[in-house]
Amino acid sequence: MDAHGRSLRRIQTERYWPPVRSRRIRGISGNEGSRYQDRGASTEPCLGRGRRERSDVLIYPENEGTETPALEDRIRLLEDKESIRGVIIAIARGVDRFDNVLLGDCIHPDADLWMGGDMPIKGAVFVEKLSVPSNPRPGRMHVVGNHRIDVDGDRALSESYVISCQDIEVDDTRSTRLRAGRYLDRLQRFGTRWRLMERILVDEWARSDVLKEIPAQGIRLGQPSPDDISYEWFAR
């Protein structure tokens, strides 16, 4: 077996992480170059060829002495981020389905929502306005993506890209309005739940296209809560 084959076999049989062999970089000398020398076998993760023992911390070779959080903390951070992402997506669903019960669970009554005007809307007012109207317009969708979430204890800041589309009618003329922007959100943990405390809508672009033709649609059309088929689906 050649050297390349032995290297592949060693990587495949590693118990935890593949080994990282640091090397001296040509042209670097003195103290700066010493950090790139081959350290040989090591029991530390990512610091040589040795097999790593189980540990609650990782020490990175580019910054020795810096420890990552314990495994339990890293898992908690992932759980927090997923919960926050779920809140943001649930708000979009609540707006599209006119589900003020869902919105009330996600948005704090005292939240400040800057939705494009010069004054914020209080969370309680926003939720109340999203009650099911007597004659709701069809085709209301908010698509959320590209999340950045920074968690600091019981407080979190996030940025989410959003594109919304709505079917509107003015003077008997139907059109589709598209609006693209970003949500800058501040969320707070209450017990085990995250709730929205502040939102700033940053507009990027918008357009409105007159409908010249309405293609045929299927038999299942989106509806406000609780008549939308998704409520029956998730109750199964």
Least confident span in 42-51, 119-128, 144-153 = 42-51
Domain ranges of the chain: 1-68, 74-234
Backbone angles phi, psi at 28, to 5 degrees: -110, 130
Secondary structure of residue 148 in the 3-state scheme: strand
Secondary structure of residue 83 in the 3-state scheme: helix
Q: How far is the C-alpha of 205 from the C-alpha of 163, rounded, in Å?
A: 10
What pLDDT, in 10s, does the model give residues 39-87? Answer: 444 443 433 334 344 334 444 445 555 556 699 999 999 999 999 999 9
Q: End-to-end alpha-carbon separation of the chain, Å? A: 57
Q: How is residue 157 written in tokens?
A: 């800041």
Q: Considering the domain delimited by 74-234, tell me its CATH architecture.
A: Roll (3.10)
Q: How far is the C-alpha of 9 from the C-alpha of 13, rounded, in Å?
A: 6
| pLDDT, position 134 | 81
| pLDDT, position 172 | 85
